[in-house]
Structure 1
Amino acid sequence: MSLKKDFLCCCSSMFPSTETARFYLLGVLIALYMLAGAAIFSSLERPAELHAHRLWEERLMDFSHEHNVSCEDLKSLLHHYEEARTAGIRTEQSRALWDIPGAFYFVGTVVSTIGFGVTAPSTMTGKVLLVFYGLLGCSATILFFNLFLERVITLLSLLILWCHSKRTRHGRLECRGSESDRNEEWKPSVYQVTLVLFVAVVVVAFGAASLYSTMEGWTYLESLYFCFVAFSTVGFGDFVSGQREHHEDTQVYQVANCLLMLLGVCCTYSLFNAISLIIKQGLNWMLRALAKIQPCAYTAGANSVQFGPQHSLALLCS
């Protein structure tokens, strides 16, 4: 018995804990996921990039010959224009970027971590201030998202529990006592909460896309694409809402745009956290499968500390 116990202790010390193994496994899977994504998007987008470069060079040469301007001077002018875009200069007339509504829109993209990139400080004082402003603002907004998620999870859990209790009560009235006990122990599945959050995100995104398609002149698919990029806080900047000149006169649209951004980011953030919990369950399944091959490979992380919205989701869902 002593020899077996020593062997198990020695074996368990050679392998990481479950929490550590899950961390390493997730890192490897993310790296593989990124490599696969890079290969796919490179095969899709690289030919279009090369074609755009060739077309641009042809247009530069044609313009240079037609107007008797050297390519070097033309490229120098374009370089100055690229610098001017940071200050808000556009070839097409657009709304003011740094009036109070424009600046409010900018700080909203900063604290929400969207960062479209269409607006950026051009002064050194503004750039330095942005570092400290973003540090506090992003931290406070992430806290707001976490608190929002906790309340959404609690509300969804209560609604799902109410529906479950009502369905159970109508189904088995004769077993009232035992069903009551079961309802007290029952918790909504994380898959049910994820499904409800997914439906909420889809409803918000489709409703917002209808508004953006009308106000921005985008196609509906472009509007849906913008909603995902914005609500997920990716913020590429290829599509940015509320930047046209006539939008200065549509204050209702500006307010609706900000509210949709806030609601969309909150719902999508909640959905991401729920999906991440499902991914965590998948990692646990993979580790259990590995443990069957090597029974003493992983030790249970009983003393690990959990915190944050995912822990609240795990407590509320079965």
Structure 2
Amino acid sequence: MTTPVTVAGKVFLIFYGLLGCAATILFFNLFLERIITLLAVVMKAVRERRIRNSGLLPPGIRHDFSAYSLPGWKPSVYHVMLILGLSAITISCCASAMYTPVEGWAYLDSLYFCFVTFSTIGFGDFVSSQSDAYKYQSLYRVANFFFMLMGVCCIYSLFNVISIVIKQVLNWILEKMSCLFLPALQ
């Protein structure tokens, strides 16, 4: 493992970490926004196709679907959470299928590695790409990079959406509690 040893290296790491972590959060938030925009475009396209195919419009009359702006098509936070969760599971399962034979880990250990890595917990008890020689080493390193990038994007975005759901649940609980206690205080 590479770590800074000198004072200058440690000071540089602190400043680099501040900028790097902020830029990473920005990148993941932009990734989540793009996922939400993609879902809105798909939902709008499906709705337009249903209207055209349903026969609700008289023949020969065209409907101007451009009147529906995209912001009105924001998907539910629960749909986004479901899609991100399924994406994270799919990426983790595929990555684990790669890590198991290449790294020689059990499949469950590979799944554990994926979660710990994708969530950036990073205990270090399992580390990929540590062998000097792999069969198809270049391909493995590219696939490893791809899985880690996509896994981190999906898991971080999923955490972000889960935090929104937790906030909604807490606000709902507080609202219910205030309804119970406000009449007693008056």
Alignment TM class, shorter chain as reference: 0.7 to 0.9
Higher Rg of the two aligned structures: 1
Give, in whole Å, the separation in 2 of the partners of 1:231 and 1:253.
17
Q: Aligned-pair RMSD on alpha carbons?
A: 2.8
C-alpha spacing 1:281/1:157, structure 2 compared with 1 (3 Å): same
**Does the CA-based 8 Å contact 1:231-1:265 persist in structure 2?**
yes
Which residues in structure 2 correspond to 1:184-203 (within 5 Å)? 187-203=74-90
C-alpha spacing 1:274/1:166, structure 2 compared with 1 (3 Å): farther
For residue 96 of structure 1, what is the aligned residue in structure 2? Answer: none
Give, in whole Å, the separation in 1 of the partners of 2:89 and 2:159.
13
Length-normalised TM-score, structure 1? 0.49
**Does the CA-based 8 Å contact 1:161-1:187 persist in structure 2?**
no
For residue 56 of structure 2, what is the aligned residue in structure 1? Answer: 174
C-alpha spacing 1:195/1:169, structure 2 compared with 1 (3 Å): farther
For residue 157 of structure 1, what is the aligned residue in structure 2? Answer: 40
For residue 208 of structure 1, what is the aligned residue in structure 2? Answer: 95
- 4+ residue stretches of structure 1 with deviation over 2 A? 118-129, 160-170, 172-177, 183-188, 294-297
- Per-residue deviation, residues 282-316 of structure 1 (Å, max 9, x unmatched): 1121011112113389xxxxxxxxxxxxxxxxxxx
- Per-residue deviation, residues 92-133 of structure 1 (Å, max 9, x unmatched): xxxxxxxxxxxxxxxxxxxxxxxxxx4422344332321122
Which residues in structure 2 correspond to 1:12-27 (within 5 Å)? none
Give, in whole Å, the separation in 2 of the partners of 1:216 and 1:146.
32
Secondary structure of 1:174 counterpart: coil
For residue 118 of structure 2, what is the aligned residue in structure 1? Answer: 231
Pairing 1:246–2:133 present: yes
Give, in whole Å, the separation in 2 of the partners of 1:140 and 1:286.
34
Task: Determine which of 142, 153, 165 is the counterpart of 1:278.
Answer: 165
Task: Determine which of 111, 129, 146 is the counterpart of 2:29.
Answer: 146
- AA aligned opposite 1:205: S
- How many angstroms does 1:162 deviate by? 2.6
**Does the CA-based 8 Å contact 2:120-2:152 persist in structure 1?**
yes
Aligned length: 176
**Does the CA-based 8 Å contact 2:103-2:128 persist in structure 1?**
yes
For residue 18 of structure 2, what is the aligned residue in structure 1? Answer: 135
- How many angstroms does 1:230 deviate by? 0.6
- Per-residue deviation, residues 189-224 of structure 1 (Å, max 9, x unmatched): 221121111111111111111111121111111111
- AA aligned opposite 1:173: G
Q: What are the ranges of 5 or more consecutive residues in structure 1 without an aligned counterpart?
A: 1-117, 298-318
Give, in whole Å, the separation in 2 of the partners of 1:241 and 1:124.
29
Give, in whole Å, the separation in 1 of the partners of 2:27 and 2:144.
19
Secondary structure of 1:161 counterpart: helix
